[in-house]
Amino acid sequence: MMSQPVEEMPLDEMIASVQRGDQTLQNYLLKSYQPFIAKCVSEVCKRYIDPQKDDEFSIGLAAFNEAILSYSPDKGSSFLSFSKLVVKRKVIDYIRYVQRTPAAISLDESFDEEQMENPTEIVAVKEIYQQEQEAWHRREEIMDFKEKLRVYKLSLVELTEASPKHKDARESAVAVARKLYNDTDLREYVYQKKKLPIKDLVKMVDVSKKTLERNRKFILAIFVVLDEDYMYLKEYLKGVG
């Protein structure tokens, strides 16, 4: 019986095979998805990306490989959505690193003598660029967060309405979400059922069943944040709970 041609294999099957050690498939994916990677990198850099010349592409390629190895379909998003987020985040981190390095010269910028005579303007332009990148990155996180919430039949509007109004209640709900996420069995339950294991949670936390049910949507949303690589949303959690 002939084996299935690589081109006809479902993407999730290929990724699973790579995670089991199939280096041939791994190389195939890294080569086949170069246009996809270049597009993701280009969206961050706001310019054409040459896979042969641009360092940002190499960062994106490595990030795509990392996404292949770490992807889990149980988290509710498609591989391409997941890998796009990983690639973009790694490229942004790289750009920030380059900008923080005093001796670094931006790969897509060149300054003539007149510009070099006005270093204050150059600094201002770079600050504006960084602010734009951060604003874009925040929007990307929110868009991905909205997609993940849909998996749990939640929306940002619902979340706003369901969020505890008092600080103590929010901190308590975040603490519950952390305990939920840190328990392997309960985390797996949420992945599979897309809902809170209320009966098991009541035994673990000093919160009533009624309170857990009232804050169910908020706790689930925090669970999603903890489960994803969200730089800005996790920053919010540092001050809550």
Q: What is the pLDDT of residue 113?
A: 38
Residue 101 phi, psi (nearest 5) = -85, 115
Enumerate residues 6+ apart whose C-beta is below 8 A from 152.
76, 194, 195, 220, 221, 224
Residue pLDDT, tens place only, 123-143 = 565 566 567 667 777 787 888
Q: Answer for the pair 240, 171: CB distance below 8 angstroms, yes or no.
A: yes
Joined together, the tokens standing for residue 6 give 């690589």
Separation between Cα atoms, residue 173 and residue 167, nearest integer Å: 10
Burial class (CB in 10 A: 0-12, 13-18, 19+), 80: middle
Half-sphere CA count of 37, side-chain side, radius 13 A: 28
Lowest mean pLDDT among 13-17, 19-23, 115-119, 122-126: 115-119
Task: Report the chain's terminal Cα–Cα distance, integer Å.
Answer: 58
Q: The tokens of 73 are what?
A: 């379909």
Which range is least confidently modeled, 47-61, 67-81, 201-215?
Answer: 67-81
Chain center to CA of 56: 18
For the four alpha carbons of 38, 85, 60 and 235, in that order, the dihedral sign comes to positive
Tens-place pLDDT, residues 43-52: 888 888 888 8
Q: How many CB atoms lie within 10 A of CB 233?
A: 19
Name the CATH architecture for the domain at 9-109: Orthogonal Bundle (1.10)
CA atoms within 13 A on the CB side of 93: 12
**Looking at residue 111, what is its pLDDT?**
37
Q: Which comes out higher in pLDDT, residue 215 or 132?
A: 215
Per-domain boundaries in the chain:
9-109, 156-238
User: Over the stretch 81-136, which tens digit does the pLDDT of each residue have?
Assistant: 889 989 998 998 888 887 775 544 444 444 343 443 445 555 565 566 567 667 77
Q: In sequence order, which ranges of 20-118 are alpha helices (DSSP H)?
A: 23-32, 34-45, 55-70, 79-100, 113-116
* CB of 70 closer than 8 Å to CB of 3: no
Query: Using only C-alpha atoms, what is the Rg of the chain?
Result: 22
User: pLDDT tens digits for 219-228?
Assistant: 999 999 998 8
Average pLDDT over residues 184-205: 92
In percent, the amount of the chain with pLDDT more than 70 equals 81
Structure token digits, residue 208:
């009533």
Residues 6+ apart with CB under 8 A from 100: none
The per-residue pLDDT for 229 is 76
